[in-house]
Amino acid sequence: MNCLIVDDEELAHTVIEDYISRIPFLKLKKNCYHAFEAMEELQKSKIDIIFLDINLPEISGIEFLKSTPHLPMIVFTTAYNSYAIEGFNLNAIDYLLKPFSFERFLQAANKCFQLSKMNQKQITDSNTSSNNFIFVRCNNEDIKINLDNIVRINGLKDYVIIHTIDNKYIVHYTLKAILEKINSNNFVRIHNSHIISLKHLQSIGKNMVTIDNTKLPLSSRFKEPLMNFVKNHF
């Protein structure tokens, strides 16, 4: 996890830098001595944690936190306990009161690490979930279609026909838009008018594919991605 130290005291940098070096999942990206320097670094680098002092020159750590959108996780490192409640109200992960021990610092770092893992799991679960099905508007209803059940899709100008294992749905989409909505590597475009599910693909000819016992034209411009998939699965 990439870290910034934002503090105007050299001793604080020395201590926190030493602590970071002892924790395998932390990597110090930069030492910053005022908030504006940290803002510049946030524009250039992916930062996961900021160890932030409150009493800073020009603008305080609290003001920095309030004025900067989409900040990474914040751990306050300060000599003043009077800001603790405000710090937690601003969603700080932890509040370390100087001087703090390595054990206390490690506790804060582990909080950040566990939170990061939880967030990543939620993103992964969300992506997995979104790849299992789509909703489409058909006959004034929002229809849920499992992606595994989609065999092929063919386009008719501003409409597409989604052929599933046991049904078909005419919906107001372009082929490009429905492919983006599906967002799955299991579907490929084989022609200006056709998308197929690789799961249901039966055979590939010179300029034709067979899917669900239906022959469809295979355009030369879309043939290479399809053949690459086949090669990777021999």
Give me the pLDDT at residue 76, please. Answer: 93
Give me the pLDDT at residue 87, please. Answer: 74
User: Which parts of the chain have pLDDT scores under 50?
Assistant: 128-130, 234
In this structure, whether the domain defined by 2-129 belongs to CATH 3.40.50.2300 is answered with yes
Q: How far apart are CA 169 and CA 149, in angstroms?
A: 12
Q: Assess whether the region 2-129 and the region 140-232 belong to the same CATH fold.
A: no
Per-residue pLDDT tens digits for 75-106: 999 888 887 777 777 888 999 999 999 999 99
Give me the pLDDT at residue 67, please. Answer: 86
State CA 201 to chain mean position distance: 31
* Residue spans per domain, the chain: 2-129, 140-232
Give me the pLDDT at residue 121, please. Answer: 61
Give me the pLDDT at residue 228, please. Answer: 75
Residues 6+ apart with CB under 8 A from 210: 201, 202, 203, 204, 216
Q: How far apart are CA 173 and CA 170, in angstroms?
A: 9
Distance separating the N- and C-terminal Cα atoms of the chain: 39
Domain 140-232 sits in CATH at: 2.40.50.1020
The two most distant CA atoms of the chain are separated, in Å, by 75
